[in-house]
């Protein structure tokens, strides 16, 4: 797949297909993922090609999906679970927190539950409630889970395969409002993934302020960096890619270089990813900082009705406002 | 694993649920089923031509039907037509960009009007997201329902004004709320007093897909143990988005009720008289202290799951055509005509009323104001909260900054 334009959704679809071809133990589970191909069509065509035994339209019960995924994993399968929307993961919260995350440690390593829990997350699509949430921090807070988020088609293709190959359970956060955005990709299957699942990537180098983002906010930050450049400001943009574990080497190297950091995410700021990142940076880079680490994120309210969402979600102006504040110190 | 590696599940005698099957996709061993046939137990009082019949386990409900006067029959028809019109308008407004989403009830009018009309004023309803017809019967102004689909609120109506709870989108959650509410009714001594204005029942609505959810099954357990005055109303419209019944259960919801410890009834969900009578009976029992009932209204989702859905991906139009023959409004109209209960002037009058209602909804929706920005911080907590206060102030200052031009 060299020099071809691919959407993020198609990148995921191709990555899932590749993983299923490589390993017969990979099974997909979820609501409406068969004939319909999922409400976002991420699994389109996979049931047709791999059969109903490997692409399972499950009953409508998230606790059931996760609980049976645990059983399948214990039996040697590698379930890839689709949660239809972020806000519908909570019935499965118990299984994920109480069982999925702890199975390996409580069996003293005898048991593994390799599985991927795919969560289309975030807002910006004008949806009704429960369809726009950013709940990654609940899971990043839980030891035993790995949490990652892709922001572009190429990462979607590689990261989903890496997540499936991982022997630990991986929460895989997909920026649903970016599903249909295209990018030129250079995919060389023989060469393999260009970087590890838990490596952050510096997408744009700069010297004045570092913007750290993941998932849907990466594009917003890149646009902000472009706009800032027009005003003579040099912003560095890091796509975090992995929320747990964090690639602190990449983060701190950038913080030490620019001395100013703004973390951007859709999730509410209170105890969000930004809080953890800010804590780590101030601890590790204290003497390099010119300003406190700032956060631009969702307000600390339930995700609002869609007519408010443009104001709730960080946009170009709010990110640049954060940059201004960081530079004002 | 290829198909050949999967041993077929041997056929077992699954009793009454075995019958010819309609869907192509089916798990190994699941008996085939005719998606248009509710089976011999299904209660029906009007056949597809509107002829008065007594089919299925209909005996207990006959007396309720006998008590229906012509005026009530006509008003049931009126509700069916108006509810369909409310729904059509919701759909049209979505297509015109006035709403973000609309879940259509097309085909389920009789199930919802029959259930809604059987309820007393004090009875409380806990809906899913498609119960526009129940809302109508409970007196909820249709414009109230539109706010959340327009994105100006998350519901926002006063549930206690009409004893109609907010729509619940997370499948199954509301079933437990209804059960708990019914437990409160018990504690208030509002069950079994014999006072028809005091005794209260609660209704919980969900779909066929909803019956798989943990919350649903827990609600049935709690209701049974508490002997709570709650009626579970499952609209089996044959589809949960793209998944047919076979993906959710092997034993239909009405038959499963018995296992939880209370009666289950399957009713023809496209027959408003049957639904009305069965629901009335169940509510009367609940109010008089006889405990819960589960009603499965056997019906069909004629439209897409919502305006975001494309059903051509997963179901054949021939199936929809078969169900069009069972249209609930056509059926009731034939009945009224056949029995001489209504004349052409009546039907014309209802159509005119529907036109006026649609116009009212359209202008009401188009004129629905966007909420003021800072109000998104209101009502998160019942009491003052410092984080909310700070962020509201920050938002206002941020916007003031733009106005000052910096
Ligand atoms: C907990 C949860 N999981 C998934 C969804 C997404 N979803 C919305 S409606 C639906 C299907 C519901 O089917 P059914 O219960 O039969 O009701 P119907 O839509 O047919 O009225 C699904 C899966 C949801 N709303 N809540
Ligand atoms: Mg359904």
In chain B, what residues touch A305 (CB-CB under 8 Å)? Answer: 147-148, 151-154, 371, 376
Same domain, B228 and B113: yes
Residue window 31-90, chain A: list those with CB within 8 Å of chain B: 31-32, 34-37, 39, 51-54, 57-61, 63-64, 87-88, 90
In chain A, what residues touch B151 (CB-CB under 8 Å)? Answer: 126, 128, 305-307, 309
Closest chain B residue to A89 measured between Cα atoms?
Answer: B170
Same domain, B58 and B36: yes
User: pLDDT exceeding 90 applies to what percent of chain A?
Assistant: 98
Residues of A with active-site annotation: 131
Given B301, B333, B335, B392, the catalytic residue? B301
Over residues B361-379, the pLDDT tens digits come to 999 999 999 999 999 999 9
Token pair of B220, please?
A: 């049935």
Same domain, B76 and B152: yes
Mutate to test the interface with A, among B5, B7, B100, B381 (most CBs of A within 10 A): B100
- What count of residues does chain A have? 329
Residues whose CB is less than 8 angstroms from the CB of residue A214 and which lie 6 or more positions away in sequence, other chains included: A149, A151, A173, A239, A240, A241, A243, A265, A273
3 state SS of B72:
helix
| Cβ distance of B391 and A301 shorter than 8 Å | yes
For chain B, 406 residues long, give each residue's pLDDT as a single digit of tens.
344 444 554 455 554 443 333 444 445 555 567 899 999 999 999 999 999 999 999 999 999 999 899 999 999 999 999 999 999 999 999 999 999 999 999 999 999 999 999 999 999 999 999 999 999 999 999 999 999 999 999 999 999 999 999 999 999 999 999 999 999 999 999 999 999 999 999 999 999 999 999 999 999 999 999 999 999 999 999 999 999 999 999 999 999 999 999 999 999 999 999 999 999 999 999 999 999 999 999 999 999 999 999 999 999 999 999 999 999 999 999 999 999 999 999 999 999 999 999 999 999 999 999 999 999 999 999 999 999 999 999 999 999 988 876 5
Measure the CA–CA gap between A157 and A7, rounded to whole angstroms. Answer: 10
The answer to whether residue B78 is catalytic is no
**Cβ atoms A130, B169 nearer than 8 A:** yes
| Cβ distance of A299 and B371 shorter than 8 Å | no
Same domain, B176 and B307: yes
Same domain, B200 and B326: yes
Measure the CA–CA gap between A218 and A231, rounded to whole angstroms. Answer: 20
Per-residue pLDDT, B20: 33
Domains and their CATH numbers in chain A: 4-185 (3.40.50.970), 201-327 (3.40.50.920)
In a domain, B2, yes or no: no
Cβ of A129 under 8 Å from any chain B Cβ? yes
Cβ of A275 under 8 Å from any chain B Cβ? no
Residues at CB less than 6 angstroms from ligand 1: A 31, 60, 62, 84, 88, 91; B 130, 169-171, 206-210, 237, 239-241, 301, 305
The protein residue with its alpha carbon nearest to ligand 1, atom 21, reads B207
The answer to whether residue B187 is catalytic is no
- pTM summary value: 0.95
Q: How far is the CA of B209 from the centre of ligand 2 (A)?
A: 5
3 state SS of A314:
coil
| Cβ distance of B25 and A61 shorter than 8 Å | no
Nearest C-alpha neighbor of A215 from the set A313, A284, A95 = A313
In chain B, what residues touch A123 (CB-CB under 8 Å)? Answer: none
Measure the CA–CA gap between A219 and A180, rounded to whole angstroms. Answer: 13
Q: How far is the CA of B303 from the centre of ligand 1 (A)?
A: 15
Q: How far is the CA of B110 from the centre of ligand 1 (A)?
A: 21
- How, if at all, do strands A182-186 and A170-175 pair? unpaired
Nearest chain B Cα distance for residue A299, angstroms: 7
Domain that holds residue B56: 23-366
Nearest C-alpha neighbor of A122 from the set A267, A19, A321 = A267
In a domain, B11, yes or no: no
Same domain, B390 and B360: no
Edge-to-edge strand order for the sheet containing B124-126?
Answer: B124-126, B202-207, B230-236, B293-298, B264-268
- How, if at all, do strands B44-46 and B52-55 pair? antiparallel
Per-residue pLDDT, B7: 52
Q: How far is the CA of B235 from the centre of ligand 2 (A)?
A: 7
In a domain, B271, yes or no: yes
Whether residue A106 is predicted with pLDDT greater than 80 in this model: the reply is: yes
Same domain, B255 and B385: no
Over residues A10-69, the pLDDT tens digits come to 999 999 999 999 999 999 999 999 999 999 999 999 999 999 999 999 999 999 999 999
Per-residue pLDDT, B32: 63
Atom of ligand 1 nearest to the CA of B237: 20
Per-residue pLDDT, A4: 82
In a domain, B354, yes or no: yes
Mutate to test the interface with B, among A25, A35, A61 (most CBs of B within 10 A): A61
Per-residue pLDDT, B27: 52
In a domain, B338, yes or no: yes
Q: How far is the CA of B209 from the centre of ligand 1 (A)?
A: 6
**pLDDT, average across residues A274-279:** 98
The answer to whether residue B335 is catalytic is no
The protein residue with its alpha carbon nearest to ligand 1, atom 17, reads B207
| Cβ distance of A311 and B6 shorter than 8 Å | no
Per-residue pLDDT, B19: 36
For chain B, what percentages of helix, strand and coil (3-state, to nearest 5) are there? 50, 10, 40
Where in B112-172 does DSSP place strands (E)? 124-126
Token pair of B371, please?
A: 């909420």
Cross-chain CB nearest to B243 (options A24, A31, A309)? A31
Per-residue pLDDT, B22: 46
| Cβ distance of A32 and B2 shorter than 8 Å | no
If pLDDT is split at 50, 70 and 90, which confidence band does A122 have? very high
Per-residue pLDDT, B2: 44
A120 backbone dihedrals φ, ψ, rounded to 5°: -70, 120
Same domain, B336 and B386: no
The protein residue with its alpha carbon nearest to ligand 1, atom 3, reads A88
Q: Which CATH number covers residue B106?
A: 3.40.50.970
Where in A12-123 does DSSP place strands (E)? 26-30, 55-57, 78-82, 116-121
| Cβ distance of A306 and B151 shorter than 8 Å | yes
In a domain, B12, yes or no: no
Same domain, B255 and B288: yes
Q: Scan for tokens 């009502």, then name that residue.
A: B379
Same domain, B303 and B394: no
Q: Which ligand is nearest to the CA of B304?
A: 1
**Cβ atoms B277, B47 nearer than 8 A:** no
Q: How far is the CA of B125 from the centre of ligand 2 (A)?
A: 19
User: pLDDT exceeding 70 applies to what percent of chain A?
Assistant: 99
Over residues B254-305, the pLDDT tens digits come to 999 999 999 999 999 999 999 999 999 999 999 999 999 999 999 999 999 9
Same domain, B242 and B310: yes
**Cβ atoms B241, A88 nearer than 8 A:** no
Nearest C-alpha neighbor of B111 from the set B143, B72, B137, B89 = B137
Query: Structurally, how many domains does chain B consist of?
Result: 2
In a domain, B6, yes or no: no
The residues facing A4 across adjacent strands are A185
Same domain, B362 and B389: no
């Amino acid at each position: 797949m060299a020099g071809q334009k691919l959407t993020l959704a198609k990148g995921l679809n191709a990555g899932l297909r590749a993983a299923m071809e490589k390993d017969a133990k990979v099974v997909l589970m979820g609501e409406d993922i068969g004939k319909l191909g999922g409400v976002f069509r991420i699994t389109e065509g996979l049931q047709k090609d791999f059969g109903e035994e490997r692409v399972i339209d499950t009953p409508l019960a998230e606790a059931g999906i996760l609980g049976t995924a645990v059983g399948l994993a214990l039996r040697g399968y590698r379930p890839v679970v689709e949660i239809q929307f972020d806000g519908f993961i909570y019935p499965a919260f118990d299984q994920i927190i109480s069982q999925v995350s702890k199975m390996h440690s409580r069996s003293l390593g005898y048991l593994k539950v390799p599985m991927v829990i795919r969560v289309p997350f975030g807002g910006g699509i004008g949806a009704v409630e429960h369809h726009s949430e950013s709940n990654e921090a609940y899971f990043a807070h839980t030891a035993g889970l790995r949490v990652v988020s892709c922001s572009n088609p190429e990462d979607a293709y590689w990261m989903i395969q890496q997540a499936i190959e991982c022997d630990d359970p991986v929460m895989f956060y997909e920026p649903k409002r970016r599903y249909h955005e295209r990018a030129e990709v250079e995919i060389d299957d023989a060469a393999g993934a260009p970087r590890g699942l838990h490596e952050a990537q510096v997408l744009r180098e700069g010297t004045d302020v570092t913007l750290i983002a993941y998932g849907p906010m990466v594009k917003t930050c890149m646009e902000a960096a472009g706009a800032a450049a027009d005003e003579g400001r040099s912003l560095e943009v890091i796509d975090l890619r992995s929320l747990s574990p964090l690639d602190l080497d990449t983060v701190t190297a950038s913080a030490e270089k620019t001395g100013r950091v703004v973390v951007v995410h859709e999730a509410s700021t209170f105890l969000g990813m930004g809080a953890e990142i800010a804590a780590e940076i101030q601890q590790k880079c204290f003497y390099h900082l010119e300003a406190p680490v700032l956060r631009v994120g969702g307000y600390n309210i339930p995700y609002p009705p869609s007519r408010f969402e443009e104001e709730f979600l960080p946009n170009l102006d709010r990110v640049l406002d954060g940059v201004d504040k960081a530079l004002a110190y | 694993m290829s198909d050949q590696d999967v041993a077929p599940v041997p056929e077992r005698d699954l009793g009454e649920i075995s019958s010819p099957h309609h869907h192509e996709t089916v798990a190994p061993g699941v008996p085939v089923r005719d998606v248009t046939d509710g089976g011999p137990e299904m209660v029906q009082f009007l056949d597809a031509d509107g002829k008065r019949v007594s089919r299925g386990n209909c005996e207990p409900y006959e007396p309720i039907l006998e008590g229906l006067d012509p005026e009530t029959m006509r008003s049931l028809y009126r509700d069916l037509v108006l509810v369909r019109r409310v729904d059509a308008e919701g759909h049209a407004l979505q297509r015109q960009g006035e709403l973000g989403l609309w879940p259509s009830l097309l085909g389920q009018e009789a199930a919802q009007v029959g259930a809604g009309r059987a309820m007393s004023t004090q009875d409380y309803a806990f809906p899913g997201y498609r119960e526009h017809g129940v809302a109508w019967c409970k007196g909820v102004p249709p414009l109230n329902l539109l706010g959340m689909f327009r994105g100006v609120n998350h519901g926002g109506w006063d549930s206690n004004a009409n004893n109609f709870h907010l729509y619940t989108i997370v499948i199954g959650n509301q079933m437990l709320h209804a059960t708990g509410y019914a437990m409160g009714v018990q504690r208030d001594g509002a069950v079994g007093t014999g006072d028809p204005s005091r005794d209260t029942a609660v209704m919980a609505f969900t779909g066929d897909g909803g019956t798989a959810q943990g919350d649903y099954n827990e609600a049935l357990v709690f209701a049974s143990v508490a002997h709570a005055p709650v009626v579970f109303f499952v609209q089996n419209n044959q589809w949960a988005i793209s998944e047919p019944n076979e993906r959710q259960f092997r034993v239909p919801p009405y038959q499963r009720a018995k296992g939880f410890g209370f009666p289950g009834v399957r009713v023809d969900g496209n027959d408003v008289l049957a639904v009305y009578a069965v629901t009335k009976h169940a509510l009367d029992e609940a109010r008089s202290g006889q405990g819960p009932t589960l009603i499965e209204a056997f019906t069909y989702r004629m439209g897409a799951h919502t305006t975001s859905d494309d059903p051509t991906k997963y179901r054949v139009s021939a199936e929809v055509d078969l169900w069009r023959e069972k249209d609930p409004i056509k059926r009731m109209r034939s009945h009224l005509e056949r029995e001489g209960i209504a004349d052409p002037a009546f039907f014309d009058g209802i159509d005119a009323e529907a036109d006026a209602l649609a116009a009212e909804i359209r202008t009401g929706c188009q004129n629905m104001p966007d909420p003021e920005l800072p109000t998104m911080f209101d009502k998160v907590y019942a009491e003052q909260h410092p984080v909310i206060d700070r962020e509201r102030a920050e938002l206002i200052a941020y916007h003031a900054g733009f106005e000052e031009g910096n």
